[in-house]
């Protein structure tokens, strides 16, 4: 009955929550790419697998390749001598800043929701 549970959970999500999930996964895919590549240089298909395993979502393949192209163009990742992608120093700094920003927002929202109604 696992399929039924998944369908039931999906049915209870509001449109706003569904948009939020898309915004913090697919639309910020670059953060997840950098996080996966931080551990070790690899190829795009392995990045997709790493995102699926570590963050429990499956990014669209074309979107992933587009994001990786942009990250390379911006100097956040580069190909090494074996053709695998790796994070640059600039990419590590961007990942750190993104993680700090998300942690701050999460902390503020948690504080606000734990206070109860005003």
Domain boundaries, the chain: 18-114
What is the pTM (predicted TM-score) of this model?
Answer: 0.82
Cβ neighbour number for residue 27 with a 10 Å cutoff: 11
Reported as a pLDDT band with limits 50, 70 and 90, residue 112 is confident
Domain range 18-114, CATH class? mainly alpha
CA dihedral 71, 73, 76, 77 (to 10 degrees): 80
CA 113 to mean position of chain CA atoms = 24
Distances (CA, A) of 71 to 27, 74, 87, 94: 14, 5, 9, 11
pLDDT digits (tens, 9 = 90+) for 16-32: 988 888 888 888 999 99
């Amino acid at each position: 009955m696992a399929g039924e549970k998944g369908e039931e959970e999906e049915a209870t999500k509001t449109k706003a929550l569904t948009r939020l999930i898309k915004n913090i996964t697919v639309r910020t895919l670059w953060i997840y790419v950098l996080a996966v590549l931080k551990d070790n240089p690899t190829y795009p298909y392995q990045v997709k697998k790493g995102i699926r395993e570590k963050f429990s979502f499956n990014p669209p393949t074309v979107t992933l390749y587009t994001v990786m192209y942009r990250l390379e163009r911006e100097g956040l990742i580069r190909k090494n001598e074996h053709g695998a992608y790796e994070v640059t120093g600039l990419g590590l700094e961007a990942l750190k800043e993104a993680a700090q920003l998300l942690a701050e927002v999460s902390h503020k929202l948690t504080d606000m929701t734990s206070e109860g109604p005003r």
